[in-house]
A and B are shown apart, each in its own frame.
Chain A
Amino acid sequence: MLLFFQQLANGLIIGMNYSLVAIGLTIIFGILDIINMVQGTFFMVGAYTAYFMVTYLHLNYFVAIPVAMAVTALLAILCELASVRPLRGQHGIVFLLSTMGMMVLLENLALVLWGPEPRELSSPLAHKAVVIFDIYLTQQKIFLLIFSALIVYLLTLFIKKSRIGRGMRAVAADEYASSLMGINVNHIFMITFGLGGALSAAAGALLGPMFDIDPLMGHLTLIKAFIIVIMGGMGNITGAFYCGLILGVSESLGAAYVSTAYRDVFGLIIMVLVLLFRPEGLLGKEGLK
């Protein structure tokens, strides 16, 4: 039984992290209708920005997280301007390729600038054990859970209540009609990309102290985020949030009770099942619209 609860906790923590990246991916898909391959790279950039803030500028780790989110949001906006805006109106596959190009460019840039060897992002909470009913966690893991949940809550509030959030939903529903209603679609696109980048960056900066960071760390994360977005329904934030947790927990429990060698397979099996029986996603297609 202890094994079950420990694996559940492990799964929830990693799942929460998947959720953050997947929500970024899903809002960009929901609003811009493009598949953003740079999302995993933002995860890496966020982790590295936090690393440089903490290691070289001796910034407090808790300050470094929002800084990393802001820097990555700016980079994401630049990516939108460079690889999405000039191609507006093209077929979806064009954006897949242009953002993939951006991903390769940024990752190789990171390899050249910072080298391939993994680095350790230090946090005052890392490796500090917290034992609750014989379940081993660290302070960092608990912080990750709380902080991620807070970000997701604030994001949903922002999209529901704020003026920009309403604009985002309007653009998601009908880009042309909302531009006629006086919404600046270009601004909405930029903000959406920025938000997507910031979410990924937060995930990277939160996970960095637990597992080392390296320039190619975003690949696996991107694949997981894709699985989650498909499971949760393309463009569905709530779906991405819950499916992130479901994926994390199913990987963790699958590894514990079926086979550790096939850990990454469970997510893919769930994805295939969802595509076969509920192609609109587990939570339906309400999405942002």
Chain B
Amino acid sequence: MRKLFLFLACIAFCTGTSGIGHAKEPIRIGVIQPLTGQGSYVGKNFMDGIYLAQDIINEKGGLLGGRPVELVVEDDQCIPGQSVAATKKIIYQDKVKIMLGAMCSSATIADIPVAKDAGIIHVVPTSYAPAITEKLGHKNLFRTCINSNIISNGFSRFLAKDLGLKTIAILAVNDDFGRDQAKLFTEKFKEYGNPKVVGTYFFDFKDRDFSTLLTKIKSVKPQGLYIIARTPQNAMILNQMGDLGMVGDYVVAGSTNFSSAGCREKAGKNAEGLHSAVMWDTSIKTPASQAYMDAYKKKYGKLPEEEFSCSGYRGLMITADAIERAGTADDVHKLRKAFEATEWQGPSGTIVFDEKHQASVPCHVIKVENGKTKLVK
């Protein structure tokens, strides 16, 4: 009796799944992001954006004539080892042909060889390390976000020319993202007249006590302080600057993703006057940007907290656009050709890829005033 039941169950299962297969087999896309650990704030915002894009695509009837998009999501905690394990899982167990990930550059760099060997399309939606497209990139890798080169060019020019800073200290997280930005910024900053970086100080991405580093910076007396950190570490740094009586004495600048709503809320008045470089912000009011914010508000009941939600949205929308034009979700060759021909209108302008598969994402500058962000440049 039991065997018969099992047999029937098997038949039911087989016919059931093949039935779905014939009608509307979902397109599975792998996503690797930090959902726990220090990167989880940005990871969560990214996921909000990507789920919004998934809803928009599926509500319009999916892709390739009715196939819904299904996301296979894995948590890597921004730890390279875990990220590689997650990449292997989604490639060899879940059999995805397209993956989006990871968040932290160190994790993405570790994932690249795995995805390259498997011959799948690797979309990098949030990692800034220039090496990803310049040194490690391969024919199937596409970066849909800005990179540290573009940020350093734009932001160092703004700080040196527009704000006229002569000396600046850098406080950066000690991983690929922080080290790259600090190095490139130092190189670019020197090119504008005679300003210089008076000191570069690194902290671990798990640190919460910055008083030692900040005291050191205080003794160096720079005009400005450029902080390269993610939320919520950035808010902790600003609050500890407040404790040490440093707020107001310096022009404080933050890397991308710095002036998030989470940071502004936690740091309160300590975040006033802060400048930061962004790809996208709620203060950008182009029609595409407004449409994105409206859709976001409809789904989540609030405005996006920071730009990584937009990165998630952009990453999946560009991917969906490429799948639709390629007419397939499995043929990597056709998909690559479609990605290369991308010309997508989104919240941060028109996106095309250059010959190294770096997306053309602009660098804007925003300033925090009365707890809100304002577009400066």
Contacts and interface: CB of A to CB of B under 8 A. Distances in A.
Interface of A: 2-3, 6-7, 10-11, 14, 111, 116-118, 120, 127, 129, 131, 136, 138, 210-212, 216-217, 219-220, 251-252, 255-256, 260-261, 263-264
Nearest to B232: A118
B40 A10 contact: no
Given A117-B41, A129-B243, A260 B206 contact: no
Given A3-B219, A260-B202, A261-B201, 18 more contacts: A2-B219, A6-B244, A7-B212, A7-B216, A11-B212, A116-B35, A116-B37, A116-B40, A117-B44, A120-B266, A129-B243, A136-B244, A136-B245, A138-B243, A220-B206, A260-B213, A260-B216, A264-B204
A10 B37 contact: no
B169 to A, nearest CB: 11
Contacts of B266: 120
A219 B236 CA distance: 19
Contacts of B239: 127
**7 shortest interchain CB distances as A-B pairs:** A211-B208, A116-B36, A3-B219, A10-B211, A255-B212, A260-B201, A136-B244
B170 to A, nearest CB: 11
Contact of B216 (A111, A120, A219, A255): A255
A251 B37 contact: no
Contact of A251 (B36, B174, B212, B219): B212
Interface string B361-373: 0000000000000
A261 B37 CA distance: 21
Contact of B215 (A10, A220, A251): A10
Given A138-B243, A211-B208, A256 B40 contact: no
Contact of A212 (B35, B174, B236, B242): B236
Given A136-B243, A212-B232, A3 B212 contact: no
A2 B201 CA distance: 19
Contacts of A220: 206
Contacts of B208: 211-212, 217
Interface string B230-243: 00100010011011
26 contacts: A2-B219, A3-B216, A10-B212, A11-B212, A14-B211, A116-B35, A116-B36, A116-B37, A117-B41, A117-B232, A118-B232, A127-B242, A127-B243, A129-B245, A136-B243, A136-B244, A210-B240, A211-B208, A212-B236, A220-B206, A252-B212, A256-B212, A256-B215, A256-B219, A261-B174, A263-B212
Nearest to B201: A260
A118 B231 CA distance: 10
B348 to A, nearest CB: 26
B240 to A, nearest CB: 8
Contacts of A263: 212
A87 B302 CA distance: 53
Contacts of B44: 117
